Amino acid sequence: MTDPEPAVSTSEGLTPVQQRTLDALRRAGPPVVFDPDFVAELRHDTDTALAELGGRLDATELYVTKHAVAGVLDCEAHHLAPDPFTWTPARARGQVSHKAIQLLLSWRGEPTPADLVDEALARLADEPTRLGDYVAGLGRGGEADLRGQAVDRVTKFLECFPPLDRRWHPMTEAAAQYPIGGPIVLRARVDLVVGRPAGQESRKVIVDLKSGRIVARHRDDLRFYALVETLCRHVPPRKLATFSLDSGSAVVEEVTATALRSALRRTLDAIERMVELRAEGREPGRTPGVSCRWCPLLEDCEPGRASMAIADDDGDLDP
């Protein structure tokens, strides 16, 4: 079995949840092949738009990620606000668990989740990054907290996913960038990728791992990943899956030309706003939403405070 293809009866040794995951990743119909002319047109339209928008940046460089796209479309003022980000165990657990899963893919034998997380923590602590400094500086209590949360995620991953056959070419934290350089660069880093193209046939599946609830924005994030993947590799992925480790289930979407076109329009809309705000001095708009609850501008933002008052009155305290 060289690629997760059409669903079969329950595989020997798999739990029902693992089998359900395998069936979700498999191809359920004929081979997926996109028209090369469509891909060429998508790349041409992207290049043309990025050149026009980049010409308005002067010497400014703009790195566009899924978070930047979602942020500026949600609320422009929040997008421009200073980022008070600091590492905490809850924020670092995803990076640690992803590193542990990356080690799992090449680990000889059958390591426990704790083995993988301990090795991931040791390796991250040696890296000259802000996360590495944070991990290296943890006290015993903080390390235990982070370790416990990461072990929980890795354990759930092992319980929910079948063993990833090496012939499926699984990768974690798979990075992609388009174009290679220029004033505007699209960047993506995917939690898990399974499969690889065969000629013009789309076989790659992109998986985003979540520990909380799945919301509509996650689908847009995956479409952004699919767009960047298509621009870089010339062959679109065939399927996108947002996987909830807590519920053991996935929200799956087949990649289509329409979805890729939609992702490009959304991305260019976001970049247009970024250019206007950062390079052309347009006053940012304020759009209330769930991010108001942790926005540093909330105290002086009338639309945000009004939105929070309505949410509190309705008893909607869960972001």
Q: Give CA–CA dist 307/316, Å, rounded.
A: 11
**What pLDDT score was predicted for residue 8?**
37
Residue position matching structure tokens 């991931």: 120
**What pLDDT score was predicted for residue 213?**
77
For residue 288, what are its two tokens? Answer: 């209330």
Q: Give CA–CA dist 287/292, Å, rounded.
A: 9
**What pLDDT score was predicted for residue 316?**
43
How far CA 207 is from CA of 6, 66, 242, 253, in Å, comes to: 18, 14, 6, 11
Backbone dihedral region for residue 106 (phi beyond 0: left; psi -120 to 50: alpha; all else: beta): alpha
Q: Is 221 exposed, middle or buried (0-12, 13-18, 19+ CB in 10 A)?
A: buried
Compute and round to an integer the Cα radius of gyration of the chain: 21
**What pLDDT score was predicted for residue 11?**
59
Backbone dihedral region for residue 298 (phi beyond 0: left; psi -120 to 50: alpha; all else: beta): alpha
Q: What share of the chain is helix, strand, coil (3-state, %, to 5)?
A: 50, 15, 35
Q: Provide the residue-wise pLDDT of the chain in tens; the chain has 319 residues.
A: 445 543 333 456 899 999 999 999 888 889 999 999 999 999 999 999 999 999 999 878 899 999 999 999 999 999 998 877 889 999 999 999 999 999 999 898 889 999 999 999 999 999 999 999 999 999 999 999 999 999 999 999 999 999 988 889 999 989 999 999 899 999 999 999 999 999 999 999 999 998 877 888 899 999 999 999 999 999 999 999 999 999 998 999 999 999 999 999 999 999 999 999 999 999 999 998 877 887 888 888 888 888 777 755 544 433 3
Contact (Cβ atoms closer than 8 angstroms) between residue 199 and residue 233: no
Residue position matching structure tokens 């590193």: 99
Q: Give CA–CA dist 176/225, Å, rounded.
A: 9
